[in-house]
A and B are shown apart, each in its own frame.
Chain A
Amino acid sequence: MNAAIVVFLKEVIENLRDRRTVMNALLVGPLLGPLLFAGLTSVMISRELDRGEKPIEVSVVGAENAPNLVEFLKQNGVRPKPPVDDPEARVRAQDEDMVLRIPASYGEAWRAGRTAQVELLYDSSQRDSATPVDRLRGLLQAYSGQNGAMRLMARGLSPAVASPLVVAARDQSTPQSRSALLFAMLPYFLILAAFMGGMYLAIDTTAGERERQSLEPLFVNPVARSRILAGKLAATVAFAMASLTLSLIAFGIAGGYIPTARIGMVLDFGPRFAAIALLVMLPLVLLASCLQTLIAAFAKSYREAQTYLSLLLLVPMLPSAMLAVLPLKAQGWMFAVPLLSQHLIVTRLVRAEAVTAAQLLLCLGCGIAAAAVSAWITARVYRSERLAISG
């Protein structure tokens, strides 16, 4: 049997017997992403649904001053709540999202044909309240417009006289595009699963073996170190891909429970998505396994390696964070950058958008080239005399 296969099999068996590795690599790593994603998506969808359907609950102070207005609001999906004391303080303390205050002078001004005033108290730093505030403001303006038009007609004028310009807003956003942040996170969850899946093996097979003083006896065998490295890398890649596969299956199952269709959003976690995602992630997994092994080879102990590799877990967050903050348009060159290209392609796939063969090939080609370079560097480090010597 080829020595690399012997090393591979031994590393796989040994690590499958390690409960901590199995827990982290094959349970926490793959499931963390889908669970978070499903949770966040459900929250987002219920918010989307709130936009139009849910009644607005608002505390009304001085409702008796404007019974017609309050009646109008009730007919349009507002549920007035009893008045509260000191509404300013209550809004600031976030006890109330908003408060409508109708002053005692309202009726007098209304009857005299002057502009009557109502006050809408809210806190614009509260993102959560923005939607109901806008809806209530819209209703109040509609009431104003409706009565204004009636007053004009009563005086024999066309209502158009008072509104020379009207803005018709046509929002082109879709639930799909409004959830850009969510989609920006998705590739990170997949990459995280792959990184976490391989991390423990990368540490165990190099820094761990040296710390346990078994690397020196291993290197005394008549096997080229590059073969030993190949077996160890293969085991690391196998765990990372297993973790990724489990994650994709979990996404597939979770995807069925997310009621995306209700808000017209498309989320495609089907087998085709999973297959292309696995293919696209392969070069990244190779690259990550080499880098993780390389870093672990420099670390003096298991703990030190763990610290460095935990920091490495943050690196794949960069494109996610960048694309979430700066809504960059995808350029051709981006598909040549490992990490960024996986990010873009996975995002497109899950939104059921087209990925061209050229983009796919660029991603795979450059990813494999980067992985080959890092494998070569790791092999060089593996040849060094100092590698085997512990302490």
Chain B
Amino acid sequence: MIEADDLHKSFGAVRAVAGVSFVARDGEITGLLGPNGAGKTTTLRMLYTLMTPDRGSVRVDGIDAARDADAVRRRLGVLPDARGLYKRLTARENIEYFARLQGLDAATTAARCERLIAALEMQDIAARRSEGFSQGQRVKTAIARALVHDPRNVILDEPTNGLDVMATRAMRRFLLGLRDEGRCVLFSSHIMQEVAALCDRIVVIAGGRVVAAGTADELRAQTGESNLEDAFVRVIGSDEGLAA
């Protein structure tokens, strides 16, 4: 479970995040929807402890990120906006590197690598150096290394960005699989249809604030719109920076 409570973050005069609170529960997919520049990435960066909030707090499985950042990181699997691989290492070596940094022993590392390589259908690229990988192959490798320590909570920043239709569909199936395993899945997107199709719970962010939150039905009821996409546009106030 991931709890964000009244998060604030400014860069100089720019207030990127100005009061974001929500809860992402276990066994659910929570979607962070907002136009480009709404503060999604900054919010996620505070959740996965890359940035310290100016105000507010982050709790993962009840652990305060300000108190014990390492314990929080051990409980999180993160696919950040930046998903660069080490191009002179093979896909498997990329995954193993992160497994060792998570402190896994050799036997566990080997077993987890096998399982993830099979689950993500990347047997054909596992022994290849990641230089020249397609966008889809890169994202698969990045997800495998993010999940190698079998975290209860998974944060993904725009996971389908740059993927083709087939890869996007596979990604969505994979996220649903993570949810069905009882994990807490939190992802950000500016694509309304994707959020509508996948999420159990939706948090709509605009201008660094949460403007609406709830299940799809709750959002429809709040806005009086029968179409979820119309509901999104209504709470945000415009469809600029969004994608259907």
Contact = CB atoms under 8 A, between A and B. Distances in A.
Interface of A: 1, 3, 6-7, 10, 13-15, 17-18, 209, 212-224, 385, 388-390
29 contacts: A3-B100, A3-B101, A3-B103, A6-B97, A6-B101, A10-B86, A10-B97, A13-B89, A14-B86, A14-B89, A17-B88, A18-B88, A212-B86, A212-B87, A213-B84, A216-B50, A216-B82, A217-B142, A219-B50, A220-B78, A220-B80, A221-B102, A222-B69, A222-B70, A222-B102, A222-B103, A223-B101, A224-B70, A385-B52
Given A6-B97, A17-B88, A385-B52, 19 more contacts: A3-B103, A7-B101, A10-B86, A14-B88, A212-B87, A213-B82, A213-B83, A214-B82, A214-B84, A217-B78, A217-B145, A217-B146, A221-B98, A222-B70, A222-B74, A222-B102, A223-B101, A385-B50, A388-B82
Nearest to A390: B82
Interface in B76-95: 76, 78, 80-89
B73 A221 contact: yes
A221 B101 contact: yes
Nearest to A214: B84
Interface of B is mostly: loop
The 8 A-B residue pairs whose C-beta atoms are closest, nearest first, are A213-B84, A213-B82, A214-B84, A222-B73, A216-B82, A212-B84, A221-B101, A222-B70
A25 to B, nearest CB: 15
Contacts of B83: 213, 217
B51 interface: yes
Contacts of B103: 3, 222
B71 interface: yes
Nearest to A209: B84
A84 B146 CA distance: 84
Contacts of A215: 82, 84
B80 A216 contact: yes
Contacts of A224: 70
Interface string B196-217: 0000000000000000000000
Interface in B43-70: 48-52, 69-70
Interface of B: 48-52, 69-71, 73-74, 76, 78, 80-89, 97-98, 100-103, 142, 145-146
Contacts of A220: 48-50, 73, 76, 78, 80, 146
Nearest to B9: A385
Contacts of B70: 222-224
Contacts of A218: 101
A1 B101 CA distance: 9
A388 B48 CA distance: 13
A212 B138 CA distance: 12
Contacts of B80: 216-217, 220
Contacts of A389: 82
Contacts of A221: 73, 98, 101-102
Nearest to B106: A1
A143 B188 CA distance: 99
Contacts of A1: 100
Contacts of B81: 216
Contact of A388 (B50, B73, B74, B145): B50
A214 to B, nearest CB: 4
A390 B80 CA distance: 12
Nearest to A386: B11
Nearest to B72: A222
Contacts of A213: 82-84
B22 to A, nearest CB: 20
A234 to B, nearest CB: 15
B156 to A, nearest CB: 12
B174 to A, nearest CB: 18
| Most B-side CB within 10 Å, residue of A217, A385, A389 | A217
Contacts of A214: 82, 84-86
B9 to A, nearest CB: 10
